Structure 1
């Protein structure tokens, strides 16, 4: 929503159906095919938005992923094959599945209880003022203080260096577009009309030539006006970078065969 990206645009880019994308946004996991699909969808969706995919998947695992029914139903310990032969002892009884499920749930409750107690102690230790006579408290406080810094660094990593450019024709217009690091023209001298479906291009820098002003530029979802010095009687010549839009020098204008 902050980037003003429509859900249908993400659906086209990631090949994930819109209803699944909405389910991810609303955390309606029961509407998704299964945990494996959820993690795959989360990773693909995050990469499309320039977020930390690994961090989102790890958070989903910690908050929502549970043992599968197959793992809960699997018997504990090896089973012996029965045989009609003489001289063999009786087959050991197998515990009912409900007992196994109850045992696993009880073990999980115990683990959660222990972790909550340990976490409470760590929190209390970190909130106590450090003194020279309490080195253990100082170490815990230092470790607790350093942890958010590492988390902040990991979240700052996905700052995208790419620009999302969309050219929306408002009339008939000639267009020639080149992108940095991508061979050939992205739009090779094509004539665009309002009926032409607009495409989204990604790069760190664009060089654009238009035959006239019959087009709107949307950079990262925001509408941008042409620089005054980029509009001439022979056309519009624009250079697009993360710093903004500027007039494209004649020596840098792309050549298109169309």
Structure 2
């Protein structure tokens, strides 16, 4: 039953978070949804793509991922689902559709690090707010109570709580820092080259839809490393960062 519900998600369009879009983009969003539901997937993809520069929305990325899935362009679908997860990391429907698309592309999902596992429990902005509030709250609890003569277990307990929450939020932010380096090969021409030039010898190729961590950039090339320790310079025409 669970598997069946996950599969339903890949064919459905999310209307639950349309409110994220501003008024001047809602017309194109609805038009794209109508094209999708009519089976005009290429037109729907074009319309969703026009929305991205205007409004970074998990709804748009998610629906665009579904559209590319229907077009059997699995690498681009994976990229869009990853972008949607960057904005809505706790959404189980997006994560399920990403997994199904990776399976369709015959890719083995990369195991996340423990810091990344912690990070995706909440949005990056939530972690940032927790870190700020607990840091200054803990500082205030250390500095101010002696001035007022406030002592006791309640104060100590609040300080410990602030320290623990600050530590966890720091782990979450570190995880997001790692996730921010993620990129996806969107073509079978994603060659790993020895140097950042088009004439450089090719060491090997990334699989379409394969993820890699961006280490640095030079001109039109990214130096990337995969979980299997494959590394090299890849042309940005064939490899796209998730966080851009």
TM normalised by structure 2 equals 0.29
Which has the greater radius of gyration? 1
TM normalised by structure 1 equals 0.28
Structure of higher RCO (CA pairs closer than 8 Å, 6+ residues apart): 2
